[in-house]
Amino acid sequence: MPSMNRPMRRTRLGLLSLLALLTGAPSPAWAQAPSTSALKSQAKAAAAKAQAKTQESPAPQAQEVSDALKAPRPKGGEYFGLYLMDKKVGWFFTDLTALPGGKVQSVNELIFKAQVGTRVSERVHREVRVYEAKPGGRLLSFTVSQRGDGGDNELVGTVTADGLRVVRKRPGQPEEVLKPMPAPKETVDDADQARVALLRGKKVEGVLLDGTDLEGYRTVTTVEAPEEQVLGGVKVKLARVSTLSDKEKVPVAAFLTTDGKMVRVDFGQTMQARAESESVAKRMDLVEVFGLTRVVLPKPLPAKAREVPGQVTLVMKNLPAKFQQDTYRQKYKPLPDGRVEVTLMAAPPAPRGRKPRPVADPDGGENLKSTLAVESEAPAIVAQAKSIIREEKDAYTAARMLSAWVYSNLQKDYGASADRATDVLRQKKGDCTEHSLLTVAMLRASGIPARRVDGVIYMVNSDGVPALYWHEWVEAWVGEWTQLDPTFNQPVADATHFAVGYEGNAEITPLIGSLQVTDVK
């Protein structure tokens, strides 16, 4: 049974979402890259050498290759330490090499490890992608392997004349051929947008296939003005490359020396990647993430915050304007000193506004879609949802029944994470992300538009400090939007919930470590 002093937010903290440019892209946009002038000089020298060789011998000219291969890179790949608020929580490796037969292989591997409450959470995510080597060469195949936190599984994709064929493999389960997908738009020129942008001296735009949801996302890399920083006590001029994905919507800034060494990558003020030797990168400290990322309150919340209907007002500092959008649950009032009053409200949906299911999605079907994670069309999910709600027609009543079933039937367990709804249903345990994922999948299977909500929730942990902890819950459209929390069996998520995004959106990650609450009313 969960208790309100035990935070249930899994500590990925959007890690894989934030690093989709690494784990979802063939080569990270922040990979090691030389300056524009150095690249142009090297390219001209290589071209002159090739021309001279051609004049000496009548041998056929070699096939033109992508700019991703023309740019110099370190042999053997690169290692980076990954830091959350200056505490190491993981490392990653990246490499891109030419293969025989006019092909290119990209390898990316991410390891994340941290203490989550009393448990240790560890995730290993590895991707291998193969492309045609020519300019604009197609993505030919990929293998995405994951083990540890989130479950063990492998996706093997092959591009055919008919599109993309993907096979999913999981331990103890039969191989599953996913629905046919359109051929990805990703090309080898997107395999290393940072180097390509620097080589060309201009912005590079492409579409990258995300390795976690198999959706294509527009990604843009821009060469920005160089910056002068101190490295090892010496001032050096660093090139700067910024990459923005339509999925993450978080600018990722990489800093590189003029000789092409990548020294640092900033994900806002919260996360940072640092170039390190293999031995240093793999040397880990065990970080307790809950205490590191919580937002401490100046005093406990009043009892009315837990009532339904109920409300509470928090005065916040360092909350960017883009998050200050009024909703049916959250209202914002800017203060003269730059702070903002946020009033959180909770109330059940009005009876007159409730509709029978199936309910039309106000967003055009996005919240009814079956995805790689939210497997709402999977037979097991459909059957389980039907067995719970049976013939219940009222959408809100059905939503409450599904949420209550998840609360009662899932064991609260930090160390049993799963990224797919069918895996959650099979293992019947997990934390807030598993509770929300399975609930949303069954809601959609029942004809009720739904999505996962990311934010913070009020708790008093074992140290007695009142604070907001990262959490995930559910929002459903039952004729109007309403929020439920299956982790804590709340048919109406109370006013201690402050929402900042949806379904692992990395836009919220820069708030970690910067958001402050200065008063409670």
Q: Tokens at residue 8, please?
A: 């249930």
Is the pLDDT at 48 greater than 80? The verdict is no
CB-based contacts of 474, cutoff 8 Å, min separation 6:
403, 436, 439, 440, 443, 450, 451, 452, 453, 483, 484, 485, 486, 493
How would you class 96 by CB atoms within 10 Å of its CB: exposed for 0-12, middle for 13-18, buried for 19 or more? buried
Give me the percent of the chain exceeding a pLDDT of 70. 85
Q: Band of the pLDDT at 117, cuts 50, 70, 90? A: low
The least confident of 114-128, 183-197, 272-286 is 114-128
Q: What is the DSSP letter of 178?
A: P
In angstroms, rounded to a whole number, what is the distance separating the alpha carbons of residues 491 and 508? 25
Any alpha helices (H) in 420-461, and if so which ranges? 421-427, 432-445
Q: Tokens at residue 225, please?
A: 């003005």
- Among positive and negative, which fits the CA dihedral 497, 499, 500, 503? positive
Q: What are phi and psi of 398, to 5 degrees?
A: -65, -40
Is the pLDDT at 39 greater than 60? The verdict is no
Q: Band of the pLDDT at 504, cuts 50, 70, 90? A: low
Beta strands 411-412; 429-430: pairing state = parallel
Note the pLDDT of residue 269: 74
Note the pLDDT of residue 47: 46
Is the pLDDT at 53 greater than 50? The verdict is no
- Going by C-alpha positions, the residue among 238, 235, 227 that lies closest to residue 261 is 238
Give me the percent of the chain exceeding a pLDDT of 90. 57
The least confident of 29-43, 173-187, 308-322, 388-402 is 29-43
Is the pLDDT at 4 greater than 50? The verdict is no
Note the pLDDT of residue 137: 96
438/236: higher pLDDT: 438
Highest mean predicted confidence (pLDDT) among 42-46, 397-401, 414-418, 502-506: 397-401
The least confident of 228-242, 315-329, 473-487 is 228-242
59/230: higher pLDDT: 230
The least confident of 42-51, 286-295, 417-426, 492-501 is 42-51
What's the whole-number mean pLDDT along residues 252-276? Answer: 82
In angstroms, rounded to a whole number, what is the distance separating the alpha carbons of residues 182 and 184? 6
Q: Tokens at residue 83, please?
A: 């830091």
The least confident of 8-17, 255-264, 306-315, 470-479 is 8-17
Note the pLDDT of residue 138: 96
pLDDT tens per residue across span 158-197: 999 999 999 999 998 899 999 999 999 999 999 989 888 9
Is the pLDDT at 279 greater than 70? The verdict is yes
Query: Mean pLDDT for the chain?
Result: 84
In angstroms, rounded to a whole number, what is the distance separating the alpha carbons of residues 162 and 139? 14
Note the pLDDT of residue 18: 35
Note the pLDDT of residue 305: 94
- With both helix axes pointing from N to C terminus, report the angle between 379-389 and 395-409 in degrees, rounded to the nearest 10: 110
In angstroms, rounded to a whole number, what is the distance separating the alpha carbons of residues 332 and 60? 68
Note the pLDDT of residue 365: 95
Is the pLDDT at 106 greater than 70? The verdict is yes
Note the pLDDT of residue 405: 98
In angstroms, rounded to a whole number, what is the distance separating the alpha carbons of residues 55 and 276? 43
Q: Tokens at residue 502, please?
A: 């949806």
The least confident of 19-23, 279-283, 347-351 is 19-23
The SS3 call for residue 2 is coil
Distance in angstroms between the alpha carbons of the first and the last residue of the chain: 31
CB-based contacts of 277, cutoff 8 Å, min separation 6:
79
Note the pLDDT of residue 1: 31
CB-based contacts of 435, cutoff 8 Å, min separation 6:
8, 406, 407, 410, 472, 486, 487
Is the pLDDT at 42 greater than 60? The verdict is no
The secondary structure of 210-234, three-state, reads CCCCCCEEEEEEEEEEEEEEEECCE
Q: What is the DSSP letter of 61?
A: P
Highest mean predicted confidence (pLDDT) among 82-86, 178-182, 436-440, 514-518: 436-440
pLDDT tens per residue across span 322-375: 899 999 999 999 999 999 999 999 999 999 989 999 999 999 999 999 999 999
CA angle 234-239-242, nearest 5°?
Answer: 130
